[in-house]
């Protein structure tokens, strides 16, 4: 069974686990992955993206190794089966780009392409533009404010479309895949980052509270995600089979691959900030579904002054898996 990335703030829950997300890879459109991944049906304008932008960008930077691995794989796929090859890519769309970290990786990997970062959050797209300029990519990375998938008609075609943790915030995921596929040029590639494995970042027994905290967070997150999906407009109760969605959209040669984020202890301050922000979002989103002992443990883990807190623990690490599904236009 495919696991999910869910977000409440346009960010992912520790890359691939269920539940709301905090600052990780961003989603956008109908919920961060889309309306900005809030997952509660609120509009993107309900959240202050100028405040959240730095947090989201930090989370995405923590996941840079995953972006780089995935984009390198996409370059290989584009050259396979007699395809035009990566050097022939002239236009790339990053759907639900957030602050533009992945968009800039795509621009670096495809130096002959224009990359369009698409997101409903204007403040996040401003960060994407600033990032592109800092990296010397300002002449090739542009931005487009749009909801996913309703506001995409004006985008035109692309040789490569990337969408990370966006579509699970759209009620009819099959239709959303078809809508993105409709923007592919002949031979173009659609890549959707959805699913993977729930992350781990501490031992089973962390010395405070009951052992097995992360397993209980997984369970609570699955319940949160089910409620979120059920409440979405046009929500379809269907098997989440992304390769089948790609095939139903008329695309060929579906491929799936997963990428490992392995950040061992001692963890960097940026990665610690990412995990603490995620745990804080979990407390806010579904802390009421946890017992008092687990809520107390989470409060201690997110306290920067607590010796047992995540920010100060020598055993803190981050291990996660992100799955990417792809297929090509005929």
Asked if residue 29 is part of any domain, the answer here is no
Among 37-46, 113-122, 135-144, 172-181, the minimum mean pLDDT is found in: 37-46
pLDDT in tens, 231-257: 999 998 888 999 999 999 999 999 999
Asked if residue 20 is part of any domain, the answer here is no
pLDDT in tens, 204-229: 999 999 999 999 999 999 999 999 99
Say yes or no to pLDDT of 12 above 60: no
- Structural domain for 127, as ranges: 44-305+318-328
Asked if residue 28 is part of any domain, the answer here is no
Burial class (CB in 10 A: 0-12, 13-18, 19+), 186: exposed
User: pLDDT tier at 47 (50, 70, 90 boundaries)?
Assistant: low
Asked if residue 30 is part of any domain, the answer here is no
Asked if residue 15 is part of any domain, the answer here is no
Q: What are phi and psi of 11, to 5 degrees?
A: -125, 165
**70 vs 10, residue with greater confidence:** 70
Give the largest Cα separation in the chain, rounded. 58
What whole-number percentage of the chain has pLDDT above 90?
Answer: 78
- pLDDT averaged over every residue in the chain: 87
Asked if residue 3 is part of any domain, the answer here is no
Asked if residue 276 is part of any domain, the answer here is yes
Asked if residue 37 is part of any domain, the answer here is no
Does residue 86 contact residue 113 with C-beta atoms inside 8 Å?
no
Say yes or no to pLDDT of 42 above 60: no
pLDDT recorded at residue 11: 36
CATH number of residue 208's parent domain: 3.40.50.150
User: pLDDT tier at 149 (50, 70, 90 boundaries)?
Assistant: confident
In the chain, the number of structural domains is 1
38 vs 7: CA distance, rounded Å: 6
């Amino acid at each position: 069974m495919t696991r999910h990335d869910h977000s409440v703030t346009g960010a992912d829950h520790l890359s691939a686990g269920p539940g709301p997300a905090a600052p990780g890879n961003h989603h956008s459109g109908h919920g961060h992955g889309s309306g900005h991944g809030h997952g509660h049906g609120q509009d993107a304008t309900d959240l202050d993206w100028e405040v959240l932008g730095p947090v989201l960008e930090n989370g995405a930077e923590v996941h840079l190794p995953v972006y780089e691995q995935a984009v390198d794989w996409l370059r290989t796929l584009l050259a396979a089966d007699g395809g035009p090859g990566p050097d022939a890519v002239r236009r790339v769309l990053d759907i639900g780009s957030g602050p533009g970290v992945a968009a800039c990786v795509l621009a670096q990997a495809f130096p002959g392409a224009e990359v369009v970062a698409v997101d409903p959050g204007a403040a996040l797209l401003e960060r994407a533009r600033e990032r592109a300029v800092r990296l010397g990519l300002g002449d090739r990375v542009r931005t487009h404010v749009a909801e996913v998938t309703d506001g995409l008609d004006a985008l035109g075609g692309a040789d490569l479309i990337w969408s990370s943790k966006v579509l699970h915030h759209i009620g009819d995921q099959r239709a959303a895949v078809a809508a993105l596929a409709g923007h592919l040029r002949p031979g173009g590639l659609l890549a959707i980052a959805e699913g993977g494995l729930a992350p781990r970042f501490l031992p089973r027994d962390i010395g405070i509270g009951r052992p097995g905290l992360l397993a209980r967070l997984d369970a609570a997150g699955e319940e949160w995600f089910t409620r979120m999906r059920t409440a979405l407009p046009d929500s379809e109760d269907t098997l989440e089979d992304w390769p089948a969605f790609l095939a139903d959209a008329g695309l060929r040669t579906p491929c799936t691959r997963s990428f490992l984020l392995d950040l061992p202890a001692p963890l960097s301050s940026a990665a610690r900030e990412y995990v603490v922000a995620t745990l804080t979002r979990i407390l806010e989103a579904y802390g009421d579904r946890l017992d008092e002992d687990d809520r107390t443990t989470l409060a201690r883990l997110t306290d920067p002054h607590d010796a047992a807190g995540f920010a100060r623990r020598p055993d803190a690490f981050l291990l996660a898996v992100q799955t990417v599904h792809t297929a090509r236009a005929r």
